[in-house]
Amino acid sequence: MTAHIPSALRSYTAQQSEVQVEGATLAAAVAGLERRFPGIRFRIITEQDTIRPHIRIFVNEKQVQHLNAPLEREDRIYIVCALSGG
């Protein structure tokens, strides 16, 4: 599946805006991202395994709230930086 990386995180992905990931859940996909791009997980997921306040994650067009969200092989993951002030 494809994960869309926001500009704020592309320093981790060698400026790639899309990367391929695998996993049956969002947790597994994010773990895969972390293995390939060390440090990226903690910028978007807290130590309590919650999505950070100004980060939104969509699977296809639907926002997901938890890391246990299931994923399908053809899903597209969008990591979005939400509003955070001036």
Among 33, 44, 57, 64, which residue interacts with another protein (rule: CB under 8 A)?
44
First-last CA distance in the chain: 34
Among 54, 65, 66, 70, which residue interacts with another protein (rule: CB under 8 A)?
54
Q: What is the CA angle 74-71-69, rounded to 5?
A: 155
Among 43, 60, 63, 66, which residue interacts with another protein (rule: CB under 8 A)?
43
Binding site for another protein (CB under 8 A): 8-9, 38-39, 42-50, 52, 54-55, 81-82, 84-85
